[in-house]
Structure 1
Amino acid sequence: MSPGAEPLGSRAESFWAALENADEHSAVAQVNEALDRGFAPEDVLLEVIAPAQRRVGVRWAENRLTVAQEHAATAVSDRAVTAVAAHPAARVPARLGRVTVACADGEWHTLPARLVAEVLRLRGWHVDFLGAHVSTRHLVSHLHSTGPDAVALSCSLPVRLPVAHAAVTACRAAGVPVLAGGAGFGPGGRYARLLGADAWAGSARGAAERLAAGIAPPSALPPTAEEALPHLADREHALVEEASRRLVDEVMAVLPERFPRSRECTGRQREYTVEDLHRVVEYLVAALYVDDPGLFEGFTVWTGRIMAARNLPVQALSAVLETMAGTFRELPRASAYIAAARAALGRELHSPSTESTPGRGNGSAG
């Protein structure tokens, strides 16, 4: 319940202004003042800090924030979460049990997981927050030494799904159930269920409610990756991953000749282009791992839009897809995924709403 007549939304806007300017002092002051005026810590976390951080991601995608500005804003959000956690209003005794919260190996987006950890603490759980990039070996070692009731595993990017699968399997083999969360597990947590997680939650409050309802420990050893995902027997995901660096190097080597306009790219634009193309190949690996062509197609179109917003040569994306099609022509699933993505990108490049977008140029998906 909002104290007095002051809406929490006004606090959210003030916090966003501080975040946009990377003003840590103002951001922390905003959350502390809200708490001092009686707003619930959980509401401040999820209705002030979390929405502002989502706006950071949107602004970055629109090329209205640089990578450095995005990192600075995220650091300020993290500092604000620390301020909420340290406030007297957030001191809640642990009474429900113990939960380990961790990000999958290679996952550096910690803020969603940290928000979950803080909400669980506020609900009365003893929480061990292990942070970013937790190797499966270290995670399991922690479980054996602490004996939690559950693991809340965060995965923000689908490219981490193979290592997230390994973590889920190892935790369940140790007798600890896994609650999966994060956008990387797909809409509605579809990949969480596919990879054997015991439960999934789409929000911090949802995670708290699911844990409060109870998650039973695994009753049997989990299946191996090949048993759970029989399509992996074709090894297509591994073959694509092995060829990823060579593919991007080949495209970048021929790009200036095929698309002379790309010679105008600055060093920073070239760096971004290489990063985007590597990520495209990583998404093909992830899509093959979970056997979902829509995952690769959707990411390809989104990447084209991001490259256009940054005024990068979208033709490079078309070129890498063409190179991939030739390299993987003997791989049936990969070939089908690439063909669908090329067609979708072609429609995106030539749609009336995007043909005049800066950075699109006159390239095609061919």
Structure 2
Amino acid sequence: MSAPAHPLPLHDPRLADHYLSLIGDGDERGAIEVATTLLDDGTAPQRVIVDLIGRSQGRVGELWAANEWSVAREHAATAVNERVLAVVAARTTTRPHRGRITLACVDGEWHGLPARMLAELLHLDGWRVDFLGASVPGRHLITHLHQTGPDAVALSCMIPTRLPRAHAAITACRAAGVPVIAGGRGFGPGGRYAERLGADAWAATGEEAVTRLAEDWPPPYVSDVPFIDADSFLGDEEYTHLVRSRPQLISTAMSRLPAAYPVAHHYDHSQLEATAEDLGHIADFLAAALYVGEEQIFTDFVDWTDAVLTARGVPTAALRAGLRLIRDQLVDFPAAIAMLDTTLTK
């Protein structure tokens, strides 16, 4: 796509298409020029972050899921967006005047761009932000809290499989006397899992988090679902069994796959690797669903996986075969079997 003859306003869909083409082509200079032109024309940096960078990143994920963009192209586009965000941040002149916030992605969560965007929105609203980055181990997060004494912790979790580690981090932060605001789709619809795991608040978007922290913080901890401490989860027999036996579940399923799904006899090495990875995801999402006690975590994952695999030419029968191979090994674990049966009877 050629560049527009004249600068376009942020709300013009042609600008969104043009910017997406730039990041999709890895054109860092062109993408930065779009952002700086908007800033020079008086567009608020918050709008550039949310409406340009944020929306384009959402489209990047959709294009990958639809198999229109490769993983490499998605990563390259994300890297360009990160550079554009850095340029926008470098032009920020707001001085801290509200307080101090520690912002981190939970241990094992590598989607750092949404959290980085929130960090810049908070900077623009007058907070001092310690952005710790992606996949922060809980012990290091708590050490940082003791060293810096922030007013709040913001935790990002984009994938439900990280919920057990998010729970451990939330529990430790609360024990240290620091309230937690959670964000990211990994915490479920309406943040329902965030409340259950003990977060003091949840925000659906970065802008909502900024508003809550500025106007309603710290909120009283109120939840319709009683807070459940970490020990009640870690002692759960089904969850513990599934996590400990994950390698054996995958290896056994792979050894039985050709008999259960004869097409697998003809899989090449890359197809076998992808299948083993998918079986690992099945085990991980099943474990997360057991941990939180929410079947929807698993059923939503299966529906999403089916759509992604279909876009890549993998028939639903292959996914169902994998689900059965995992199910057949989970003898005497009724909750896990019930979740698997729900997906298999659709």
TM-score, with structure 2 as normaliser: 0.91
| Gap change, CA 1:188 and 1:130, over 3 Å in 2 | same
Structure 2 segments unaligned to the other structure (5+ residues): 1-6, 222-226
* Equivalent AA in structure 1 for residue 37 of structure 2: E
| Gap change, CA 1:233 and 1:138, over 3 Å in 2 | closer
* Equivalent AA in structure 1 for residue 77 of structure 2: A
Q: Which residue of 2 aligns with 1:360?
A: none
* Equivalent AA in structure 2 for residue 226 of structure 1: D
2:114 to 112, 115, 119: 112
Q: Which residue of 1 aligns with 2:3?
A: none
Q: Which residue of 1 aligns with 2:33?
A: 29
Q: Which residue of 2 aligns with 1:145?
A: 147
Q: Which residue of 2 aligns with 1:342?
A: 344
* Equivalent AA in structure 2 for residue 225 of structure 1: A
**What is the CA-CA distance between 1:223 and the residue it aligns to?**
6.1
The DSSP-based 3-state class of the residue aligned with 1:152 is strand
Q: Does the 8 Å CA contact 1:107/1:160 hold for their aligned counterparts?
A: yes
2:239 to 237, 240, 244: 237
**What is the CA-CA distance between 1:159 and the residue it aligns to?**
0.1
Q: Does the 8 Å CA contact 2:103/2:129 hold for their aligned counterparts?
A: yes
Residues 315-334 of structure 1 aligned to structure 2 (within 5 Å):
315-334=317-336
Q: Which residue of 2 aligns with 1:49?
A: 53
Q: Does the 8 Å CA contact 1:177/1:218 hold for their aligned counterparts?
A: no
Deviations 1:108-141 (A, max 9, x none): 0001111111000001111110000101100011
Structure 1 segments unaligned to the other structure (5+ residues): 345-366
**What is the CA-CA distance between 1:266 and the residue it aligns to?**
4.1
Q: Which residue of 1 aligns with 2:231?
A: 226
Deviations 1:190-222 (A, max 9, x none): 000000000000001100011012433889xx8
The whole-number CA distance in structure 1 between the counterparts of 2:274 and 2:87 is 34
Q: Does the 8 Å CA contact 2:201/2:219 hold for their aligned counterparts?
A: no
The whole-number CA distance in structure 2 between the counterparts of 1:150 and 1:332 is 40
Q: Given the alignment of the two structures, is residue 272 of structure 1 paired with residue 274 of structure 2, yes or no?
A: yes
Q: Which residue of 1 aligns with 2:176?
A: 174
Q: Which residue of 2 aligns with 1:163?
A: 165
- Counting matched residue pairs gives 334
Q: Which residue of 2 aligns with 1:261?
A: 263
Identity, in percent, stands at 46
Q: Given the alignment of the two structures, is residue 74 of structure 1 paired with residue 68 of structure 2, yes or no?
A: no
| Gap change, CA 1:132 and 1:327, over 3 Å in 2 | same
**What is the CA-CA distance between 1:224 and the residue it aligns to?**
2.9
Deviations 1:54-100 (A, max 9, x none): 0010011101111111111111111111011012xx21111111111
1:18 to 3, 12, 22: 22
The whole-number CA distance in structure 2 between the counterparts of 1:78 and 1:265 is 37
**What is the CA-CA distance between 1:28 and the residue it aligns to?**
1.3
TM-score, with structure 1 as normaliser: 0.86
* Equivalent AA in structure 2 for residue 131 of structure 1: G
The whole-number CA distance in structure 1 between the counterparts of 2:83 and 2:310 is 33
1:251 to 230, 244, 253: 253
Deviations 1:281-311 (A, max 9, x none): 1000000001011221121122122112112
* Equivalent AA in structure 1 for residue 87 of structure 2: A
The DSSP-based 3-state class of the residue aligned with 1:131 is coil
**What is the CA-CA distance between 1:50 and the residue it aligns to?**
0.4
Bigger mean CA offset, 322-331 vs 192-201? 322-331
| Gap change, CA 1:9 and 1:274, over 3 Å in 2 | farther
